[in-house]
Amino acid sequence: MILSDEQKASLIDAGIRAPSADNSQPWKYQWDNASELSIWRDAELSGFATDKTFILTDLAIGCVIESIRLKALESKLNAEIVYCPSDESEKIATLVFTSSASNTPPLPNEKANKKVVDETASDRELASYIEARCTDRRFPYKGPVTESESLALAGAVNDKDYALNVYTDKAAIAQFLPSIKEAEQIRFECASLHQELFQTIVFDQPAPDKGMTPAMLSIEPIARPMFRLMATWRTMQKLNKIGTSKMIAMRSVTLPFKLSPAMCVLTTKSTSRIDIIKAGQQMLRFWLKATQLGLSVHPYAAPGVLPLAKPDVGEPYLSRLSNVKRNVDSEVANGQQVIMFFRVGRCAGTPTTSCRRSADSLKK
């Protein structure tokens, strides 16, 4: 099959709109031929500190892959995905596109056929929200998140090796908060994690194509001068002596979650690289369903991802991160492991959203 330039551009645009940690966009693409697309990790934007095991890159690329796959379905194309992550190679996956009309043999019974048709229609509907999806770090969120909405969010996950747990009970949400808060606090107490965080923050450009501004992080204007001072590690060390890291964690974790009607937790049975990529695909599916339902979403990666990233942070941080992982995993069922937390609810108006790199800049 030969894809037109317009079809190719539409698929790449869908990938560009996928989320990534700190808006790093750590991927590149290459059209191998008229119907095969390879996705690569960007070596210059991956493998550092909190991405030492490529976990954040793999999650981001999983989101890219699913966004492209859904967009293809919307265009009546099927995308066969061949995963090939390797520490020795930067190539992550290849997508092979075929016409959905020519590549969908009839199933043996009417019920099975109807299920496939319904799932395809649902996925095409998700694709229509790719452009609208965004991170919303504002608070408070309004509620409620209804039982039917909770079921719809959980049902967006379409792989049995993953689960999306939705919590609307305040006590159930509260049991996770100390661990999420601890992980966030460590990011401001460990020099290498602090440095990595502030390298992604852009103070002097209102709309950078990579990274984020204080406005995109929903830092209040009155707090931005102090936030800029925190970018210097020596200053951060001094501020931590008076408990600033604890106050930041309270402001960024405890208060927002307490002022939100729901918490969602994405879990996985396995944390191999392929399974993390697929977790990214499930994350995007949930996020698009939330967007479809008119819900705002704010992700929190640190509690699930930081321990799996195995950063070179030394003690006591490694022990603290191990405790965080143990505690959050103990709260979910059936041996699942936590990958990502999300704050979910409704927030009027439009958040300040991050920008994206151009398609040309992402070419390998």
Classify residue 304: in a domain, yes or no: yes
In a domain, 358, yes or no: no
Model pLDDT for residues 43-92, shown as the tens digit of each residue: 999 999 899 999 999 999 999 999 999 999 999 999 999 999 888 889 99
Sheet with 36-41: list strands edge to edge.
Answer: 27-31, 36-41, 91-99, 77-83
Query: Which residues sit opposite 165 in a β-bridge?
Result: 265
Same domain, yes or no, for 317 and 171? Answer: yes
Domain final residue pick, 82, 103, 132: 132
Beta carbons of 56 and 92 less than 8 angstroms apart: no
Query: Is the pTM above the cut of 0.85?
Result: yes
Return the SS3 of 335. Answer: coil
| Three-class secondary structure of residue 362 per DSSP | helix
Same domain, 243 and 285: yes
Sequential DSSP letters for 76-115 = TEEEEEEE---SS-SEEEEEEEEETTTS-PPPSSHHHHHH
33 and 125 both lie in a single domain = yes
Average model confidence (pLDDT) across the chain: 95
In a domain, 362, yes or no: no
Residue 19 falls inside a structural domain: yes
Q: What angle do CA 342, 347, 350 make, to 5 degrees?
A: 105
pLDDT of residue 17: 99
pLDDT class of 14 with cuts at 50, 70, 90: very high
Report how far residue 152's alpha carbon sits from residue 30's, in angstroms, rounded to the nearest whole number: 35
Question: pLDDT class for 117, splitting at 50, 70, 90?
Answer: confident
State the DSSP string of 144-189.
---HHHHHHHHHT---TTEEEEEE--HHHHHTTHHHHHHHHHHHHH
Angle 284-285-287 from CA coordinates, rounded to 5°: 60
Q: How far apart are CA 188 and CA 85, in angstroms?
A: 31
Q: Are residues 213 and 107 in the same domain?
A: no
Take residue 54 and report the two structure tokens written for it.
């490529």
- Total of domains in the chain: 2
Residue 139 resides in a domain: no
Residue 355 located in a structural domain: no
* Percentage of residues of the chain with pLDDT beyond 70: 96
User: What value does the mean pLDDT take over residues 128-152?
Assistant: 98
Tell me the CATH number at 30. Answer: 3.40.109.10
312 in a structural domain:
yes
Domain of residue 87: give its range: 5-132
The predicted-structure confidence for 255-312, as pLDDT tens digits, reads as follows 999 999 999 999 999 999 999 999 999 999 999 999 999 999 999 999 999 999 999 9
